[in-house]
Amino acid sequence: MKRELSNRHIQLISIGGTIGTGLFLGASRSIAFTGPSIMLVYLAAGIFMFLVTRAMGEMLYMDPDQHTFINFISKYLGKPFGFFSGWTYWLSIIFTGMGELTAVGIYFQFWFPKMPMWIIQLMFLAAIMSINLITVKFFGEAEFWFAMIKISAIVALILTSIFMLATDFKTPIGAVGLTNISKNFQLFPNGFKNFVMAFPMVFFAYQGIEFVGITTSETKNPRAVLPKAINQIIIRILIFYIGSLIAIMLIYPWQSLDPKQSPFVWIFKLLGISWAAGLINFVVLTAASSALNSILYSSGRHLYQLASDSSGKFNKNCAVISKNGVPARTICLSALAVAVSPIINSIPTIKDAFSVIASVSSGAYLLIYILTLFAHRKYTQSKDYLANGFLMPKPKFFGPLTIAFMVFILISMLFQKETCPGVVTALIWLVVFGGYSLAKYKNENS
C-alpha cells in the first residue's frame, strides 16, 4: 500500500471519526432522555473512548507498519484470540456500515419519497465504493471535505448560540440563556436508570473513533502524525459534542425539546432559513457518507489483513493490492456484505432495523475493545515495550478502569429492550465462535 495520507487528511479523518449522524438527529432524544446530565455521559464515555485509542495508539506507534490493531491481539494474547477478534471486528464494522446505509436510505427519501429504499442504498454504496477503489489519497480528500461539511454545521450552531446569548435573543418560547439549563435543575430529572441507560446510546455515537489508527500504515511520517491526531480527539469531543449540547440547551429549554425533531433544524429556522430541514438533511447525509466511506476503507484493509494471515484460496484471491495501491478485492467484498442491509430492512418482522443492527454492532465492538485493552496490558509487560514511545497515561490504573467501563455498558444494554437482543447475539457469538477459535488452534498445535 502507498503512504499518501497527509497530516491534513489524518486530522480531518480523526474529526470525522468522532462526529456521527447521532449528533445531528439524535441530540434532542439524548437530551430529553436524561436532561443536562447527558453532558456528563458524553464526557465520561468520551474520556474512556479516548483511553482506548491511546492504548491502540501506543502499540501502533511502536509498530506503524501494521494495517490493523487486531494484529496486536494475536501477538500478545495468542492466535485463537486474534482469529476471533479479526473476524468479529470485521463483522462489527460491516454491521455499523449496514446501520449507516439504512440511515442513508431514510435521509435520501426526504427528497425522493417515492423511490424504493433498496435502489437508493445500492446506488449510494456503489458510489462510496468507487471512491475507495481509486487511490488512498482520493479517499483521504473525499473524507476531508465530508468532515468539513459536518464541522461547518456544528461551528455554525455554536456561533449562533453565542450570538443569540450576546444579543439577548428571544425565541417564540422564551429568551436564550443559561437559565434554560439551570432552571429547576436536577442531575437525574428522569431517574438514575435513564442516566445509566444513556451510556449505550452515547457509546454507539463514538463507535469508529479508532479508525484514525487504521490509517497509520498509509500515512506519511506516522510517528509524527499519530500522536497529534489521537491527542486532539478529547479536545474535539469537548468542542463538538459538549459544545453542541450546551448550544442547543442555551437556545431551547431542554424540557421542551421534541425527541423526534433535529434541534439543528429548529435553530436554523430561527435564523430565518426556511429551507433548514433540507440543509440539515444534506448535512446528515454527508455525515452518513463520511461514516460509510471510512467503514469501507477500514473493513477493506482489515479483510485484506485477515487474508494475508490466512492460507489457501482466501489468501491467494484476497491478499491482493491493485495497481492503485488499494486492496480492491477486499473493499468490494466488504461492500457486498454491507449490501445485505436492504434485505434486513425488507424483513417484515423487524420493525426497527437500525436499532437491531446498531445493538449487534455495539455488542461486538465492546468485546473487541476489551480484548484490545488486555493486549495492551500484555504489551506493556513484553520485550517490545517502547518506554520512550507514545505512552497511554497510567496504564495500570486506567487500563482496568476502562475495561470495567466497557463491561458496565455491556451489562446496561441487557436492560433495554432495544439493545438486549444485540448483546445476547454478541454473547452467543462469543461462546460459539470463541469456542471454535480455541478448538481450531488447539488442533493445529496438537
Nearest Cα neighbor of 22 from 422, 354, 351, 258 is: 354
Phi and psi dihedrals of 175, rounded to 5? -85, 155
pLDDT value at position 83?
92
Structure-model confidence comparison of residues 219 and 51, the more confident one: 51
Alpha helices in 78-191 (DSSP H): 79-108, 117-134, 136-166, 179-182
- State the Cα–Cα distance between residues 428 and 425, nearest whole angstrom: 5
Structure-model confidence comparison of residues 266 and 80, the more confident one: 80
pLDDT value at position 216?
65
For residue range 122-177, what is the model confidence (pLDDT) as tens digits?
898 999 899 888 877 777 788 788 888 888 888 888 888 888 888 888 877 778 88
Mean pLDDT for all residues in the chain? 83
- State the Cα–Cα distance between residues 77 and 375, nearest whole angstrom: 6
Nearest Cα neighbor of 124 from 104, 98, 109, 149 is: 104
- Residue 111 corresponds to which cell in the numbers above? 427528497
pLDDT value at position 328?
87
Domains of the chain, by residue range, sit at 7-445
Q: What do you get for the CA distance between the two ends of the chain, in Å? A: 36
- Which helix (H) or strand (E) element contains residue 174? strand 174-175
Sign (positive or negative) of CA dihedral 385, 390, 396, 402 = negative
- 259, 240 in Cβ contact below 8 A? no
SS3 445: helix
- 208, 1 in Cβ contact below 8 A? no
pLDDT value at position 299?
87
pLDDT value at position 446?
46
- State the Cα–Cα distance between residues 51 and 422, nearest whole angstrom: 24
- State the Cα–Cα distance between residues 151 and 154, nearest whole angstrom: 5
- What is the CATH code for 7-445? 1.20.1740.10
Confidence at 329, pLDDT banded by 50, 70, 90: very high
Phi and psi dihedrals of 112, rounded to 5? -125, 70
- Residue 363 corresponds to which cell in the numbers above? 455488542
- Residue 210 corresponds to which cell in the numbers above? 479508532
Structure-model confidence comparison of residues 311 and 78, the more confident one: 78
- Residue 354 corresponds to which cell in the numbers above? 437500525
Q: CA-CA distances (angstroms) from residue 221 to 7, 15, 28, 59?
A: 9, 19, 41, 16
- State the Cα–Cα distance between residues 257 and 443, nearest whole angstrom: 58
- 27, 244 in Cβ contact below 8 A? yes
Q: How many other β-carbons are positioned within 10 Å of the β-carbon of residue 253?
A: 16
Place of cell 446505509: 101
- 5, 297 in Cβ contact below 8 A? no
For residue range 339-398, what is the model confidence (pLDDT) as tens digits?
887 777 666 555 566 667 777 888 888 999 999 999 999 999 999 999 998 999 999 999
pLDDT at 44 over 90: yes
- State the Cα–Cα distance between residues 333 and 318, nearest whole angstrom: 9
